[in-house]
Structure 1
Amino acid sequence: MARDRARRSARGNRQGLLLVGIVLLAGGAVAFAAGRGLFGARVAEGSLLDDGAMAVLGSPWAPYVAVAVAFVAAFLALRWLMVQGLNDTVGRLVLERGEEGRVEMSESVARGALEQEVADYPGVRRARARLTESADEPHLRLSLTLEDDADVTGVWRRVRSDALANLRRSLELERIPAVVRMSMTAPAKNPRRSLA
């Protein structure tokens, strides 16, 4: 459900940006061609707006229409910006659902327990997790910052066999799709050696 919404939003963003780009490109190409005289010398030397357009722009209702169009454009742009700022982290996780109701857990509780467990592994400097997509079938995004001398394979095996298994058991799920990103910390710079 949330995954479909994110895909629709991304597809809508691409289509909207493509449409705006095509309109701007076409307008620029037409203006360039007209200025270069490709539509005739009369068009190239003439004014941008003819007398009819100037009469319409000079009418008493034109400023109100311009303000209304500007408000609609600003509202749509603001809505688009707000949608970009939303993330797909779920707020609550559904542990059990029945006729009497459902049992939920805050995403931050599960996330905090997982981050604490993984951060205590040898070689892990920092762990950041996010549970995304759906309250019923969450996906995990786990970012690890490892020490420069960490055993990367050992950390990965421990995350897979211990941390992910514990998370699945606590959420009573058979599987949790996960993306684990590991990065190394920059090695400490060598102190300047004295020549004395």
Structure 2
Amino acid sequence: MARDRNRRSARGNRLGLVIVGVVLFAAGGVALAAGLGLFGVGISRTPILGGAVDAVLAQRWAPYVVVAVALVAGFLALRWLMVQGMNDTVGRLYLEQTDDGNVEMSESVARGALEQEVASYPGVRRARARLTESGDDPHLRLSLTLDEDADVAGIWQRVREEALANLQTSLDLERVPAVVRMSMTAPAKNPRRSLA
């Protein structure tokens, strides 16, 4: 299920960042302690790249290994960054799933109908919706931009009683968990001035 995949991905991100942070913190602490002479004066005066490291780096295969490790690390870092940019919007909504076949709807159709309905309410300047989580148990994220003089309570009531009810009916769901975010804008200024 998509929700479980998102939770696993978030948990993996946190675990990976904690591990990298702990390793870097520990390496920095050990290097600082060695440099301050806490492990003995001899260690603090010894070059970091000692004889053993110089011998390994002198091998003919060493540069190739360094390049390969750098490429793998770069690929993993790029993949992690790409995963961070992915959103959790579902592509298709499953209205009915049987052994004979599935009845599906594009997420953009349901989203577009909801946005048009809510944008037609008085005082709503713009409506943006996203259906997330999974195709068979979607969650709604609705962002509304309202006029400065809009009736916020009235708009919220209409969204809850009309728009969400219509969405639940069209998707044949008992409930659609929703997060509604409303923000206000200043009224649009009229560029034409009266010359009275």
Q: TM-score, normalised by structure 2?
A: 0.93
1:49-86 Cα offsets, whole Å, 9 max, x none, are 22122101111111111111111101111111111111
Q: Which residue of 2 aligns with 1:106?
A: 106
1:121-148 Cα offsets, whole Å, 9 max, x none, are 0111110000011111111010111111
Rounded to whole Å, the distance in 1 between the matches of 2:86 and 2:95 is 24
Q: Give the SS at the match of 2:140.
A: strand
Shift of 1:186: 3.7
1:137-194 Cα offsets, whole Å, 9 max, x none, are 11101011111111111000000000000111111111111111111114668xxxxx
- Could you tell me which runs of 5 or more consecutive residues in structure 1 were left unpaired when the two chains were aligned: 190-196
Alignment of 1:74-113 (within 5 A): 74-113=74-113
- Could you tell me which runs of 5 or more consecutive residues in structure 2 were left unpaired when the two chains were aligned: 190-196
Rounded to whole Å, the distance in 1 between the matches of 2:123 and 2:25 is 52
1:12-66 Cα offsets, whole Å, 9 max, x none, are 1111111111111111111111111111111111111221221011111111111
Rounded to whole Å, the distance in 1 between the matches of 2:8 and 2:76 is 17
Q: How many residues align?
A: 190
Is 1:62 matched with 2:62?
yes
Q: Which residue of 2 aligns with 1:194?
A: none
Rounded to whole Å, the distance in 2 between the matches of 1:121 and 1:182 is 13
Q: Which residue of 1 aligns with 2:44?
A: 44
Q: Give the SS at the match of 1:131.
A: strand
Q: Which residue of 1 aligns with 2:192?
A: none
Q: Which residue of 1 aligns with 2:123?
A: 123
Q: Which residue of 1 aligns with 2:23?
A: 23
Q: Which residue of 1 aligns with 2:11?
A: 11
The aligned amino acid for 1:158 is R
Rounded to whole Å, the distance in 1 between the matches of 2:10 and 2:99 is 36
Q: Identity over the aligned pairs, expressed in percent?
A: 74
Q: Which residue of 2 aligns with 1:137?
A: 137
